[in-house]
Amino acid sequence: MRYADPSLCPDCRSALPSGISVCPSCDLLVRHPLAVHLFRTLQRADALVGELRTASDAFHDHPAAASAASTSATATATLGGPLVAPGVPAAPTQAVPAGPTPPLPPYPGTAAPMPERGGVAFASVPKILLGLGAFCLLVAAVIFLAVSWSALGVGGRTAVLGGLTLTAGASALLLHRSGLRVAGESLIVVALGMLALDVFGAGAAGWLGGNGDVTTLVAGLTVAVAASLTALVRVGGQPRLVAPQVIAGIGLLVAYTGAIDVTDHRLVAGHLVTATAIGAVLLGRTTGLVPLQWSVTVAGAVAWLGSASVATSSALLHPDLHQLWVDGSGWSLLVTAAAMLVPGLVVRDQRLALAGASCAAMVVTLVLTLPSVDTDATTFGLVALGTTATWVAALAVLPRVARPVAVAPSALGSLVLGGLALTTAAVAFARWADASTAFARTLDVTIGGTDPVTEPLLLVPSLLVPLAFLALVASNRSRAALLEWAEAGGVLAGLGVAATLTSYDVQLAAPVAALILTAALSTAVSLRSTGARASGHAVAGLAVAGGATLAAVPSAPIAALVGAVGTVVALALATLGRTDVARVTGRLTAPPLLGLAVAALVHAVDGGAAWVAVPVLLAVGVLAVVLPRLELEVAAVLVAAFAFPVSLGTASDPGGLTALWLTVAGFLACASALVNESRRHLVWLGGALLVLASWVRLADLDVHAPEPYTLPLAVVLVALGLAWMHRSPDTGTTEALLPGLLLGTVPSLLWVAGDPVSLRALVLGAACLALTVAGAALRWSAPLVIGASVGATIVLRELGPYAGDFPKWVWIGLAGALLTVVGITWERRLLEVRSAVGLLGRLR
């Protein structure tokens, strides 16, 4: 046997396929530089062994000579040279230069990588074949037993099953010892499968009582134990088999499925399987069997999850003390919690251990407090609040290394408290909705209705304890950060106080006052802060102010007062806010709050919904004129547009209301254009709204003539055009005067076309004559063209009724004369062009 064998792994001595870099059996790197150095060392060892063999053969052939040579060599090596007589100088020893060392061949693993080839790898072929063969053997064994079971006696069955199992197991071990690992893995699977069939055969023969579930349990345990023992065996110095390690977990899982059907104590069965899996994991870690650890871990996790699910469902369905502790679900949950500690202890990982301890603490807390679910809501709320507050306090005082233990129970308690708080808030909202009468004129609106489901007095602490938990689990525990959390707690407490008051039969003013006070305090904090803190408090304050105003809607006087306060809060942030978010939020919120306050005030003075639109428009419009910011203007437009249809639906004179609303809107637009230099363009919008308002009013008064609609606007356009021409002398009359002249003449011309003999036709004709004369005198093209064209059209329309009285030859003669005049003019112009061309040609 050689030490340096390129076809074997230097560690596990298993066969190495060609072209690989890692040993498939022990994962040794065979292409590493250390592997090359090891191969050279092993070659040197082979050479030394050869020399030692030669010396040994010479010793055995000539013992005396070999002994003398050996003694001389030993003495020389020991004393450093040959012996000489005393006093005689030793001859100098001439060093013999060492010959060059022949280069050693590299380890096979350093060879150039083989080119990649398609298809199935060469080393995979035996795996595929052996796997298929093992499967066929198992299927054949099952079919054979099914066919010949009735023909074989008890002795024959036992002999066949035992013989097949022993043959497969022995063959697997022998093949594995010979280095055929894949074959050994395949046949050991067959052997373990045959072992399972042996147990099922024994169960079918009645040896196990005839219960199929018992047979499944025994089969799973037998296979798991046999696979574990086989995995522990190292045959002939070969590495341990992997297949038995995987099958051990499968067998344990099968045993668990059989156990939960055999016994009524499913919780006990699950815990026993979990404990067995933990023991197997410890065995695997001790012996280095990694696949065994993973397979039994999966089986144990399934068993643990099954028992935990059954115990939890039983505890939730029957949370009373007797069934929780006497029937065993409580104890089972305690065992389940203890099992959560195992992964961290086994792996020896601190974070995993702390996570397991936190989950275990959560389960223990749940088990101990679960009986309170079977009591009244107040007791349950007190228990949940006290337990969660205790864990949150522990999170605050525990050392940093132990804080994660309190996270899971605190989180679970916070979720429970959050659910209780939402329930209380929902009932409070339902009570407010029952009292909502939409702008009643009285101040003494009382909240009543549905009785609270939970204890309202626990609402505020139920909100603050989860907030404290969030503050403590945050990474930043500085004084400034905790102060911010405390301020957020103040806002949350204000909301809780309002909801708590709403849960009782109190006046509406009480919860509304709590809300508006909270909004004012949050706004004050925002005005004294900077950055995200200021923005957050601004948004919170305005949101609470809006909620307070909406909450006050059942009483119109309270809503008007609260809306006014909310508007002041919003304007304070809009003008004095420390951040852009605060200012923009204030601008967006001020118009809605102001509009709601004005609407409530109108209802308070018995104005009715029909009178809301115009006061709201006037209020938000004046606000937009005073603070010309885009966000505020957009919000004001939306508020006014929302209030208008509300009033229009209840108005007794919709046309008059519409005209008034458009007039006020146009006035506000023009006022903003006059007051604010950056809003000069709004004059066009204001003018359009005013014109539209006049048209709506004229239509409401059944005015159908076009002049009242068009002439005012035409006069304004002509006046603006004249002013433009005065400021800019280069401006033409077409750009400045044509739109107004067209608007003033064309609509009336259309009416004249339908009624040519009328006063309108006379006035329009006189106006066209005046335009024509003025245009010719001033040399303005627009009045001249409009006056001449519109006047000619009127004349033609007046001539129309009499055109049919002329003879036809008159029209033919007129057409001929017109064509003759055009032809003569054309020819004359052509002669003039030819004369000009000749004159140019004679020039030098």
Q: Between residues 151 and 589, which one has the greater pLDDT? A: 589
Q: Between residues 545 and 806, which one has the greater pLDDT? A: 545
118 CA to centre of own chain: 42
117 confidence band (pLDDT: 50, 70, 90): very low
Decide if pLDDT at 657 tops 60: yes
Decide if pLDDT at 649 tops 90: no
Asked whether 688 and 710 are in contact (CB, 8 A), the reply is no
Instruction: Give the tokens for residue 357.
Output: 């301890």
Asked whether 406 and 395 are in contact (CB, 8 A), the reply is yes
Which residue, chain included where needed, has tokens 């750009």?
735
Q: Between residues 148 and 819, which one has the greater pLDDT? A: 819
Q: Residue 616: what residue type?
A: V
Q: DSSP states of 751-813 as a string?
A: HHHH--SSHHHHHHHHHHHHHHHHHHHHT-HHHHHHHHHHHHHHHHHHHHHHHTTS-HHHHHH
112 confidence band (pLDDT: 50, 70, 90): very low
Q: Where are the domains of the chain?
A: 1-74, 126-207, 375-480, 652-691, 721-842
This prediction has a pTM of 0.64
The per-residue pLDDT of the chain, averaged, comes to: 80
| pLDDT tens readout for residues 232-250 | 888 777 788 888 889 999 9
Which residue, chain included where needed, has tokens 């904090």?
525
Q: What is the mean pLDDT of residues 626-645?
A: 92
Task: State the Cα–Cα distance between residues 443 and 446, nearest whole angstrom.
Answer: 9
Among left, alpha and beta (phi > 0; psi -120 to 50; other), residue 252 is alpha
Question: So what's the pLDDT on residue 209?
Answer: 65
Q: What is the mean pLDDT of residues 282-300?
A: 89
Q: DSSP states of 620-647 as a string?
A: HHHHHHHS--HHHHHHHHHHHHHHHHHH
Question: So what's the pLDDT on residue 101?
Answer: 44
Which residue, chain included where needed, has tokens 């000749």?
838
Decide if pLDDT at 439 tops 80: no
| pLDDT tens readout for residues 672-716 | 888 888 888 887 888 788 878 877 877 776 766 777 777 887 888
Of 38-47, 67-76, 100-109, 445-454, where does the model show the most confidence?
Answer: 38-47
Task: State the Cα–Cα distance between residues 665 and 673, nearest whole angstrom.
Answer: 12
Question: So what's the pLDDT on residue 271?
Answer: 87
Task: State the Cα–Cα distance between residues 119 and 139, nearest whole angstrom.
Answer: 29
Question: So what's the pLDDT on residue 314?
Answer: 84
Task: State the Cα–Cα distance between residues 766 and 772, nearest whole angstrom.
Answer: 10
Instruction: Give the tokens for residue 11.
Output: 């560690």
Asked whether 644 and 619 are in contact (CB, 8 A), the reply is no
Question: Exposed (0-12), middle (13-18) or buried (19+): which is 480, by Cβ within 10 Å?
Answer: exposed
Q: Express as a percent the part of the chain with pLDDT over 70.
A: 82
Task: State the Cα–Cα distance between residues 285 and 292, nearest whole angstrom.
Answer: 9
| Residue 613 half-sphere exposure toward CB, CA atoms < 13 A | 23
Task: State the Cα–Cα distance between residues 39 and 30, nearest whole angstrom.
Answer: 10
- The residue among 435, 637, 689 whose CA lies nearest residue 551 is 435
782 CA to centre of own chain: 66
Q: Between residues 129 and 651, which one has the greater pLDDT? A: 651
Phi, psi (degrees; rounded to nearest 5) at 449: 125, -130
Question: So what's the pLDDT on residue 126?
Answer: 52
Decide if pLDDT at 171 tops 70: yes
**Range in 44-53, 168-177, 613-622 with the lowest mean pLDDT:** 168-177
Instruction: Give the tokens for residue 287.
Output: 């012996």
760 CA to centre of own chain: 72
Residue 553 per-residue DSSP state: T
Which residue, chain included where needed, has tokens 């016994």?
263
| pLDDT tens readout for residues 540-580 | 999 999 999 988 888 888 999 999 999 999 999 999 988 99
Three-state secondary structure call for residue 440: strand
Q: Which helix (H) or strand (E) holds 657?
A: helix 654-675
Question: So what's the pLDDT on residue 797?
Answer: 75
| pLDDT tens readout for residues 382-398 | 999 999 999 999 998 88
Three-state secondary structure call for residue 399: coil
Which residue, chain included where needed, has tokens 């999850």?
305
Decide if pLDDT at 127 tops 90: no
**Range in 376-380, 446-450, 501-505, 514-518 with the lowest mean pLDDT:** 446-450
Decide if pLDDT at 125 tops 50: no
CB atoms within 10 A of CB 759: 8
| pLDDT tens readout for residues 198-234 | 787 777 667 776 566 688 888 888 889 998 888 888 8
Distance from the first to the final alpha carbon of the chain? 124
Residue 326 per-residue DSSP state: I
Asked whether 180 and 165 are in contact (CB, 8 A), the reply is no
Asked whether 278 and 325 are in contact (CB, 8 A), the reply is no
